[in-house]
Amino acid sequence: MSTLLEVSGVSVSFDGFKAINNLSFQIGKAELRAIIGPNGAGKTTFMDIVTGKTRPDEGRILWGGKNRSLLAMSEARIAREGIGRKFQKPTVFEDQTVRENLLMALKNDRGPLAVLFYRPSAADLQRVVDLAEEIGLQDHLARKSGELSHGQKQWLEIGMLLAQEPRLLLVDEPAAGMTPEEREHTTALLVEAARTRAVVVVEHDMEFVRRLDCRVTVLHEGSVLAEGSLDHVTANQKVIDVYLGR
Amino acid sequence: MLDAAKDPSSGHGYLDGLGAEPTTGRRGDAPKPLIVRNPSILVFLTALALFTLTVTVLSEAVGPGLISTSFVKTLGKTLCLCLVAIAMDLVWGYCGILSLGHFAFFGLGGYMIGMWLMYERTRDIVATAMAEAPIPPTDAEIVDAIGTQIFGVVGSSEFPLVWAFADSLAIQLALVVLVPGVLALVFGWLAFRSRVTGVYLSILTQAMTLALALYLFQNDSGLRGNNGLSGLQNLPGVAAPQSVVSLWFFWASAAALGLGYLLAAWLVSGKFGSVIRGIRDNEARVRFLGYSVEGYKLFIFAVTAMIAGIAGALYYPQAGIINPAEIAPIASIYLAVWVAIGGRGRLYGAVIGAAFVSLVSSWFTGGQAPDLPLGFYTVKWVDWWLIVLGLSFVLVTLFAPRGIGGLVDLWTERRAPDRHGADLGPDPGALREQEATE
Amino acid sequence: MTRIFLAVLMLLAAMRVAVAQETPLQAILQEHAAIITKSSRTTIKPAIAAVAGSGLDRAPEVLQAWQSKDMWQRESDGLFFRAEKLDGQTYRLIDFDTGEPAGEVSKKELSQIKPNSGIRALIAVALVQFQLSDPDPARRLDALVSLDRDPNPEALAPLRASIDGEPDPALLAKKHRLERLLTIAYDSDEAARVAAIDEMSTDLGVDVRATLNPLVATRIEIFEGEIPGTANVARRLTPGKDGFDRTAAYTMLVDKGFAAPRLDPDKVREVLTAHIDGGRVGDVPVSRLDTMPARAEAYATLVAAGLAEPRATEEEIDIRLASYQFAEIYAETSAAVTTAANAALGRIATRVGVYQAADLTLDALSLASIYFLAAIGLAITFGVMGVINMAHGEFIMMGAYTGFVVQQVIPNHTASILVAIPLAFAVTFAAGVAMERLVIRWLYSRPLETLLATFGISIALQQLAKNIFGTQARPLTAPGWLDGALALNDVVSISYIRIAIFVLALIFLGVFLFIMKRTRLGLETRAVTQNRRMAASMGINPDRVNMLTFGLGSGIAGIAGVAIGLFAKVTSELGSDYIVQSFMTVVVGGVGNIWGTLAGAAMIGFFQKGVEWLNPSNTLAAQTYMIVFIILFIQFRPRGIVALKGRAAEA
């Protein structure tokens, strides 16, 4: 399996505190991966680094088949390269309708002038409808997204991520605050998405991770503690000590 | 329930023509034209046309003179203020950048047209005076005499470099747009690329305005220091009386406001509007969607600066004089006040706010308002108006964040969306409230 | 007969000698009686010199009487006396030589000597040498001061003579210094002057430079042929080079009458106007005269017709200029003196430069203190609480007006300031708390709206102050002991009021640090700043903390207002003059850190003073450049000098 993203030897510190310490990480082109770890393990910082929000002090991040470095790119550029990110809190544009939210995320030219003269084509509109069906919001296209329930917002955000057609999806705690039925739907969405692209899920909830049924990377104090199947890592004594044992 | 709830800030969603009902499987029809989707544009333009017609018919130049020439000028100036308020609304109400510098762009536009007006008018005067000399003047003598006339007050007679094109109307008209636009581009590029946002950005724009005003206050700024440019109400080479000229400017202002409103409505109605409102509500999210937020901000900042420049270029010939005090930071803050009182995030709100507050202000401060005797104390409005304005502004911010425009929501009986703890107004900090209450 | 004649002659001679011996001053006066009574400034000098140079003890009394118009001439014999008025018509005469009364006479028998102001000034100069050795130290000091103000060559010798006998060390130093300066200016011995110049070349006094500068003053002179060797040439000038303008050079020639005027456009127009004849000038129609070539052509025809003077052409100008030598010539003839003076001035300039830099540093420090004072309250409300308070400037204004009102009640300035400071704190603290409770707490999540709401309060407060106190500036007078300045030398000085403000800024810094690090309020404030929800769950009441913090920030603004009011005029716009700078200080320094505010204030103060130093005429430009600099600075450190990093910065 060829590598889509390769992070090697990355470190970053804030005021002397090493949030990420010589971290190395790889993911393939169509793979589902869960990242777990206690608070302060560097999960969010890791996502910040990959998406360009935080610049690492050292290390390299290579992307795609051509092994291009992500370090010199802006956040927007990285997003256009095909890395989508879902935040912990649902962040959709609450003042705008579900349809507007999805259309904004659709993969199209993102330059100001192109956007200014953009008219949605029939294909674009159809794609929005399809996406809405996929995330179960087909009946809510014309509603303000601010009126949606918490779980619906999470799905809308996943839908927006899918609309971007990313090659790598970074998802931060998607199941937080969801009802069991909503969790199930979310799991299905992520597993489905991982068929065609790489998906990295950061999660606290072991039950949810187990359902994803994928390779797991355990982070601790800014570096990888263990990697493998969930059963494999939960059997690891170090993991039990720092995380599960508590 | 599934009706597209009319949010004030989205105003006219470009998808409003689509699916007011569940649209499962419905193929995308082409959206309807802008004006059909946004009836408020038609209402506004009709009202503006009727207003223009009424003023024209009642003016001294055309009709019975029920509206005096000076009041025509006041109304024309108000239209210009409405136009700059629209620019402010675009940049603040829609894009979330609380610029405290747009009145500086407005002033720059005024200065650019003022240079041509003053140069040409002085040339007329000088040429007339010199024609009486026994020997006809050389070109150099005329230019020297103009220089002495214009710059005598600052102890100079040389033309500064910035006046190089003052004799060309075409170039100065271009500069009306270019100077504010380029300044906005340079400043915006510096500010946005270093990710200065929120109140920091406001303070930085305020600093820019102050720097510009202080620069213009200097005698060697080349723009006559604190004397400013004067005599701008006269159109060079036009013999028509002020009553007629003022009407021309009134028409031009009305036309500019109409076009500016259309442009702004078009800008905010499409996907572009969707993106800039997204930037206002959550800049980082838009960035992670792959949009270059800085580019969009720069675009809207520069475009609105140009609109402000045009508004200023129409305003100051009606005011007759421009000086650096006009550009002082407080003017830009007042601009924000108008838009906030009128209602941010809706174009007609900006227009209502600017027209209402500026006209009421000039009524109160002009000494026309009758004193209010309270028995123990007589309230003189000239002295108390600012206090009333300041406090009413606090009240609007606290209790009516949607401003006067919010009344329209009540009147249209549209259900206010249940926003589930979403922000009360378009403000980047709004999300924090949600966090705070979690 | 001859013997008798001789005897009489000898007797007469003896009597004369006796008269001269007994009344030498009267003799001198009689000798110059004619010019004394003539009383003309141009001819009086020998008389004054004779009295002053007589070496007689009572000579200064004569001069004083003369100067104060107390010298009278008795008409009967032409003798001079000092006269004291007894009553309306009677005067008592006092003999100059003995100091004894010499009878009382009617005014009618006397005529007063009335020296004009010019003569009195000459007498004063002559008197200085006596006063320099006067037993009364105060008069000696007066003499030195007057000599310093109005130096003259004659005083040099008596000044030197008086140095030896000077008992007072302070006066001795002054005399010595003055002697050196007079030597530089007036001594006839070149070597002595050069030595004095070298000696004084380490002195920074303005008087030294004032003495040296005339020595190196030059004027441009024109020479036909070679420059004579006697001239002390500073440098030769070539027209068109070394900043010596060709036009100016030619104008000098014209002024001296060495050359004909050039073709001046104004003059040409004048001449042409004078010769308009039937719509033509020469052969050229008037309507064509709107270009310079046409005018030159018309002028040429006038010259050809003999109606106008010929004018110099460019070639003629060059020829004339080439045939003269131009040079800057020192007014001082001694080359050794001018060389030494230039060298000394150079050394002094270097030292003055160093001290000016020190002075500038002090200036910048005091400006930084002012910005720090104005900004520290803002740093608390903006930095610690994230609330932008546009009315901060109005709190400063309220503090200043509080000081003004207190001074109306308590006239003693020291006491009133001591009362005003806590009172200003109390007033603005209360105003701040009220504002926080009524407005700001509803807007914590909406920073931009806080900005606008507080702006509304700002304009209301400003107008309210205008309604109460009027638009004119109100004085807030500093106590007497803050008047004046601490002068280290003639270059470096700093006013006490600025020192006081600097000290106040230090105190504020200390108090702030104490409150933040050592008190319960500080601890709670820091806790709320870092994590509001966590702090709340630890039993801290965030509302109370916010209220008190805001009150504290506002109260400090009030105290700053009293301080600023002491040197600035108290008007309703006082606050708005400082608000933008205060914001800049906080933004540049970095939010949420008092050291950042300090660094920001220092940077802005030093930068502004630096620009003012480079372009002293224009403080407006300094502010403009400062703001542009800040905008650029933000590029490199968007979060200020002292920046928070990591998660804390995201909040």
Q: What is the pLDDT of residues B30-69, one digit of tens each?
A: 456 777 777 888 999 999 999 999 999 998 888 788 889 9
Res. B355 pLDDT band, cuts 50 70 90:
very high
CA distance C608 to C625: 8
Sequential DSSP letters for A232-244: HHHH-HHHIIIII
Confidence (pLDDT) at B23: 40
For C392-407, write each residue's pLDDT tens digit: 999 999 999 999 999 9
What does the pLDDT average to over A60-84?
85
Res. B264 pLDDT band, cuts 50 70 90:
very high
Instruction: Say how many CB pairs under 8 Å bridge B and C.
Output: 178
Q: Do C631 and B433 touch (CB under 8 A)?
A: no
Of the spans A171-175, B258-262, C414-418, which averages the highest pLDDT? B258-262
Whether B219 is in a domain gets the answer yes
- Pick the closest to residue B337 from B406, B280, B389, B281 (CA basis): B389
Share of chain B above pLDDT 70, in %: 86
- β-bridge mates for residue A199, sequence order: A32, A169
Res. C484 pLDDT band, cuts 50 70 90:
confident
Confidence (pLDDT) at B20: 40
Of the spans A200-214, C281-295, C454-468, which averages the highest pLDDT? C454-468
Average pLDDT score, chain C: 82
C650 in contact with chain A, both atoms CB, cutoff 8 A: no
B212 to chain C: nearest residue by CA?
A: C624
Res. C297 pLDDT band, cuts 50 70 90:
confident
Q: Do A15 and C646 touch (CB under 8 A)?
A: yes
Range of the domain at A68: 3-244
Q: Chain C closest CA to B87's CA: distance in Å?
A: 18
Residues of B in contact with A129 (CB under 8 A): 23-26
Neighbouring subunits of A (3+ Cβ pairs under 8 A): B, C
Kindly list the distances between the CA atom of residue C132 and the CA atoms of B284, B349, C549, in Å, as whole numbers in the listed order.
Answer: 84, 85, 67
CA distance B104 to B110: 10
What does the pLDDT average to over A66-88?
85
Q: Do C452 and B140 touch (CB under 8 A)?
A: no
What does the pLDDT average to over C112-140?
81
Q: How far does CA C348 lie from the centroid of its chain? A: 19
Whether B392 is in a domain gets the answer no
Confidence (pLDDT) at A225: 85
Could you tell me which residue, B415 or A19, shows the higher pLDDT?
A19
Whether B98 is in a domain gets the answer yes
Instruction: Say how many CB pairs under 8 Å bridge A and B.
Output: 149
User: Which residue is associated with the tokens 């006040």?
Assistant: B337
What does the pLDDT average to over B74-101?
94
C391 in contact with chain B, both atoms CB, cutoff 8 A: no
A15 to chain C: nearest residue by CA?
A: C645
Q: Which of B5, B19, B270 sits opposite A116 (nearest CB)?
A: B270
How buried is residue C56: exposed, middle or buried, by Cβ count under 10 Å (0-12/13-18/19+)?
Answer: middle
Q: Do A139 and B2 touch (CB under 8 A)?
A: yes
Query: How many domains are there within chain B?
Result: 1
Residues of A in contact with B30 (CB under 8 A): 119
Residues of C in contact with A17 (CB under 8 A): 646
Confidence (pLDDT) at C649: 42
C647 in contact with chain A, both atoms CB, cutoff 8 A: yes
Whether B150 is in a domain gets the answer yes
Whether B350 is in a domain gets the answer no
A231 in contact with chain C, both atoms CB, cutoff 8 A: no
Could you tell me which residue, C387 or C570, shows the higher pLDDT?
C570
Q: Do A96 and B284 touch (CB under 8 A)?
A: no
pLDDT surpasses 80 at B340: yes
* Residues comprising chain A, all counted: 246
Q: Which of C295, C442, C451 sits opposite B398 (nearest CB)?
A: C442
Residues of B in contact with C265 (CB under 8 A): 141
For C222-267, write each residue's pLDDT tens digit: 888 777 877 788 888 888 777 778 888 888 888 887 777 777 777 7
C645 in contact with chain A, both atoms CB, cutoff 8 A: yes
Of the spans B386-390, C44-48, C310-314, which averages the highest pLDDT? B386-390
Q: Chain C closest CA to A244's CA: distance in Å?
A: 25
Q: Do B397 and C443 touch (CB under 8 A)?
A: yes
What does the pLDDT average to over A205-231?
86
C6 in contact with chain B, both atoms CB, cutoff 8 A: no
Res. C33 pLDDT band, cuts 50 70 90:
confident
Neighbouring subunits of B (3+ Cβ pairs under 8 A): A, C
Res. B321 pLDDT band, cuts 50 70 90:
very high
Whether B403 is in a domain gets the answer no
Confidence (pLDDT) at C406: 93
pLDDT surpasses 90 at C40: no
Q: Do B271 and A104 touch (CB under 8 A)?
A: yes
CA distance A43 to A202: 7
Res. C333 pLDDT band, cuts 50 70 90:
confident
Average pLDDT score, chain A: 85
Confidence (pLDDT) at A244: 56
What does the pLDDT average to over B347-361?
92
Q: Is the ipTM of this complex over 0.90?
A: no
Query: How many domains are there within chain A?
Result: 1
Residues of A in contact with B9 (CB under 8 A): 95
List the CATH number of the domain containing A155. Answer: 3.40.50.300
What does the pLDDT average to over C165-192?
84
Residue C650 DSSP SS3: helix
pLDDT surpasses 90 at B179: yes
pLDDT surpasses 80 at C356: yes
Residue C91 DSSP SS3: strand
Res. B21 pLDDT band, cuts 50 70 90:
very low
A17 in contact with chain C, both atoms CB, cutoff 8 A: yes
User: Which residue is associated with the tokens 């004579």?
Assistant: C228
